Each structure stands twice: as C-alpha cells, then as structure tokens.
Structure 1
Amino acid sequence: MIAAFSLETWLLAVLMGFGAALYTSVGHAGASAYLALMALFGLPAQVMRPTALSLNILAGSVAAYRYMRAGLFSGRTLWPLLLGAAPMAFMGGAIQLPGHFYRPLVGIVLLAAAVRLLWPGAFKPWRDATPMPIALGILAGASIGFLSGLTGTGGGIFLSPLLLFMGWSDARTASGIAAAFILVNSIAGLSGNLASVQSLPAELPLFAAFVLIGTFVGTHLGIKRFAADAILKALGVVLIVAGLKMLGLF
C-alpha cells in the first residue's frame, strides 16, 4: 500500500511533518500549514477541511499533553475560551460552503496566518499582564471557534496573538493554552459535520505518520525554548503564496 503512493504524495507528507514540527514548537497544531500545502498540491476543496481538522486533532492531542505536562498551561484562561468556542466550532463545521466561497475564505485565513509569522513584533503586549475577563474570553472564543470550524483550522493563529497582545498570558504559557484550545476546537469542528470524513483521502495515514513525528520534534523544541524565527518567516512566505492561490490571484 505504501509503495502505491506517488512521489508527490510522499513530498506532501514530508512537508506536512515539517510544518507540524514548526507549528507545534509554538503550541499550534499546523492546520494553516496543512491547508496551504494541500492548496499548493492541488487537493480538492472538499478534502482540505476534514483532512486539516483530522491532522489537527492528532497533533493537538500530543501537543496539549506535552505542554500541560511541562507546566505551560492556565486552566483559568482556557475554560472561558472553550465555553464560547466549542459550540460555535461545531456550528461552523456543520456549514458546507461551496468551493467558490470556501477557497477565498481559506485564502484570507492563510494570509492572516502569514502576517502572524512574518511580523511577530506586531503582537507585543499593549499593557501589563492581567487576568482575562471571563465574558470577553467567552466572546473571543466564540468568534474564533466559528471561523475555525468554517475553515478547518484550529484557531491558534488567532488565539495566540490575542493572548499576547491583550497581556492575558506570557508566550510560553500561551503555547499550552493554544494547544488545548486547538484540540477541542478541531474535535468540535469535525464533529459538526461527520459526513465530511467520507472525503478523507486514502493518503491520510501517511500524512498522519509524518505529522506525528513532526509533532514530537516540535513540542520537544518548544518546551526547550527553541526559536526558529527565520524558518517561521519562510513558512509565512509559503502561506502567502498558498493564500494568493486560494484567492485565485495566480
């Protein structure tokens, strides 16, 4: 079965593993990278969302466990976010957008993710650290959750900048919060439309194997305070290219 995969499929799987390593090093699960790569490799729109969410659940499970075990976590910050996000991610996942709507929306999300990677200084805290107001956390979680379920991302690219900019978490604790948030959000988003799993590609086990390897590498580096600014900026360029492709600009 493995021998039946094309060289292009193997290359996509390896790149997904590399993306997982980079993203999980900062507490994310890699959905925007998986979506970007699938867009660049020309996978159908109906395959992209369930595949990205499935891989997110795998990477998010490992990342959440490892960051929590390392003490990089805040339940006080997480639970209001999840209270708002989980039901809205379920609702977003239940909405089936036609390809001509889905692709531009994902393109915009990928470009937003690129901004996060290319200009991290834009998300420096604007005030001293303060506990997150519960009502505001629920509202923020609901907004991120709905967009995540709709697009097939976990929401980390929106959550982490928000936590840091608002001063609701330090950078390392934000990694653990984001990982747990992404895991629950991805499960809720996929559960919102279980029928979409019928579109999962036959190559998924291969993708999952490389993503799992990348996740163990990435979380190890993240816990050890590894910084890969140059590599993350290169990934940001990839996201721009993929985002523009999804928008039909080339």
Structure 2
Amino acid sequence: MTVATLFDTPLLLLLLPIVAFLYASVGHGGASGYLALMSLFSFPMTFMKPTALVLNILVSAVSFYFYYKERKMNWSLFYPFALTSIPFSFLGGFLTIDAFYYKIILATVLVFAVLRLLGVFGKENTEVRPISIPLALTIGAIIGFLSGLLGIGGGIILSPVLLLLRWATIKQTAAVSALFILVNSISGLIGFATKGGTMPEASLLLIAIVFVGGVVGAFFGSKKMNTSQLRYVLALVLGIAIFKLYTTA
C-alpha cells in the first residue's frame, strides 16, 4: 500500500476526517470507523491494523486533552479498567488471527459503534452508581485483548458499558474513554511492533488528514454540539461495512 494508492481512493480521504470529527466529539479515537472504511475499500489487514492504531492514538490524545480541560475526567473510574486492559491489549496486539475470524469479530464490534452513534446508549444518567472494582478489572481485560487483536482502542465497547451500568455521565464517559483508547492503542501498537510488525508509509498521509477532523470534533464535542444528522450518515456507512465484512468473511 503506497501513498499513490491512497490518492486512487478520494472518497476514503474525504470520509476519514469526517469519521475522526464525529468520533472525537464523543471522546473516541475512531479506529472502528477507520477500519470499517478501509474494509470497504478492500485494504489488506496488514495495513488496516497498525494504521487504525496510530490514527486512534492521535485522535484520542486530542480528544482527551479537550475533555480534560473541561474537567470531565474521573480518574477513579479510569484506573481499574486501564490496569488490566493495558497488558491484555499488548497481548492482543502481539497476536494475529485468520482473516475470516478477524472480519467476523470486527463486524460484531462495529455493531456497538452503530448503536453508539444512533444514541442507543446515549441517555444521560441522572444517578451515577459506585463502580464494582472486580467487574471493572474483568471488563478491562476483555476489552483490552479485543482492542489489541483488532486494532481498536476499545472505547466503542467501554462507553456502552459505563452508561448501561450507570457508572458515569455522558461527559465523564467521553473523557474516560478517550484516555482508555489512548493507552490501549499505544499498548496494542507496541505489541504489534514487538512481533516485527511495521508501519506502512502511506499511513503518514492519513495522519495529517485525520488530525484536523479530530481536533475540531474534540473541541466542539467537549462543549456542546448537535451532530445527530452526521452520525446517522456515519452509522449507515458502518452498517454497509458490517454487511460487507460478514458477507466476505
């Protein structure tokens, strides 16, 4: 995969910053969206995984910065998940699986992304409950392993968990998810590199494109912004990617 090849897919270059914008607005890095788009354009798995992790690191770092500035971070909620997710993300990044299973698992995870974008888990919690440390440690390990294995940060799974269990408000969920995604993506990428994986040169172009969308999305998302119509469009794109992944597995 070369830079010249990327210019043969102008639609991808147009959609990537939009994906970064929307995901960053809710504290996510966007890896599930990047992977969905790259799968639609039939990119090889060897390109998809490291590229998604690098883009995830960039956007989640920007997103966390803006949410942290708004004082939305709940550190006591973050630590139990991160404690187990970081080593398991490294393990997942170190491993490789058959393309068939990769597509099936990725498509299943993307279902969470679609539901999150459609607001299924997005209702504000009026009462936040105390966190269960043993359960959080277990959930962190599971999400971390899947994150490293697939090339995502895990926020798309963590966010629904936090909201459904009433462990955080929407803004707290966004802040915790952003940092969770950042540390998992770094750990997963280190695991990938430890096994001898290399970063595709063409990823540098995507980094520049995605950065702009991530900054703008994180800035407005940490304040107040209505992106419902754009989220429906992205949910449709992800739905198409899910269908393709399931049917081509």
1:158 CA drift (Å): 0.8
Aligned equivalent of 1:239: 238
Distance in 1, Cα, partners of 2:235 & 2:27: 16
TM-score, normalisation: structure 1: 0.91
1:115 CA drift (Å): 2.4
Aligned residues: percent identity?
39
Given the superposition, is the C-alpha separation of residues 126 and 169 from structure 1 closer, same or farther in structure 2, using an over 3 Å criterion?
Answer: closer
Aligned equivalent of 2:168: 169
User: Where does 1:59-70 land on structure 2 (aligned, <5 Å)?
Assistant: 59-70=59-70
Distance in 2, Cα, partners of 1:84 & 1:181: 11
Aligned equivalent of 1:29: 29
**Which stretches in structure 1 are left out of the alignment for 5+ residues?**
none
Distance in 1, Cα, partners of 2:111 & 2:3: 35
Aligned equivalent of 2:48: 48
Q: Superposition RMSD on alpha carbons, in Å? A: 2.1
Relative to structure 2, which stretch is displaced further, 231-240 or 31-40? 231-240
* Contact 1:86/1:145 (<8 A) preserved: yes
Number of residue pairs aligned between Structure 1 and Structure 2: 247
- The reply on whether 1:185 has 2:177 as its aligned counterpart is no
Given the superposition, is the C-alpha separation of residues 123 and 227 from structure 1 closer, same or farther in structure 2, using an over 3 Å criterion?
Answer: closer
Q: Which amino acid in 1 is paired with 2:95?
A: I
* Contact 2:13/2:206 (<8 A) preserved: yes
* Contact 2:124/2:170 (<8 A) preserved: no
Distance in 2, Cα, partners of 1:6 & 1:182: 26
* Contact 2:82/2:140 (<8 A) preserved: yes
**Which stretches in structure 2 are left out of the alignment for 5+ residues?**
none
1:5 CA drift (Å): 5.8
Aligned equivalent of 2:82: 82
1:52 CA drift (Å): 0.5
* Contact 2:109/2:157 (<8 A) preserved: no
The superposition leaves residues 13-65 of structure 1 with CA deviations (integer Å, 9 ceiling, x where unpaired) of 33111100000000001001100110111101221111111110111111112
Given the superposition, is the C-alpha separation of residues 196 and 52 from structure 1 closer, same or farther in structure 2, using an over 3 Å criterion?
Answer: farther
SS at match of 1:53: helix
The superposition leaves residues 184-243 of structure 1 with CA deviations (integer Å, 9 ceiling, x where unpaired) of 011111111204642x33321110011110111001111221121221122111111101
Given the superposition, is the C-alpha separation of residues 123 and 3 from structure 1 closer, same or farther in structure 2, using an over 3 Å criterion?
Answer: closer
Relative to structure 2, which stretch is displaced further, 109-118 or 204-213? 109-118
Aligned equivalent of 1:95: 95
TM-score, normalisation: structure 2: 0.92
Relative to structure 2, which stretch is displaced further, 124-133 or 236-245? 124-133
Aligned equivalent of 1:38: 38
SS at match of 2:167: coil
Given the superposition, is the C-alpha separation of residues 92 and 223 from structure 1 closer, same or farther in structure 2, using an over 3 Å criterion?
Answer: same
Aligned equivalent of 2:116: 116
Aligned equivalent of 1:142: 141
1:3 CA drift (Å): 8.8
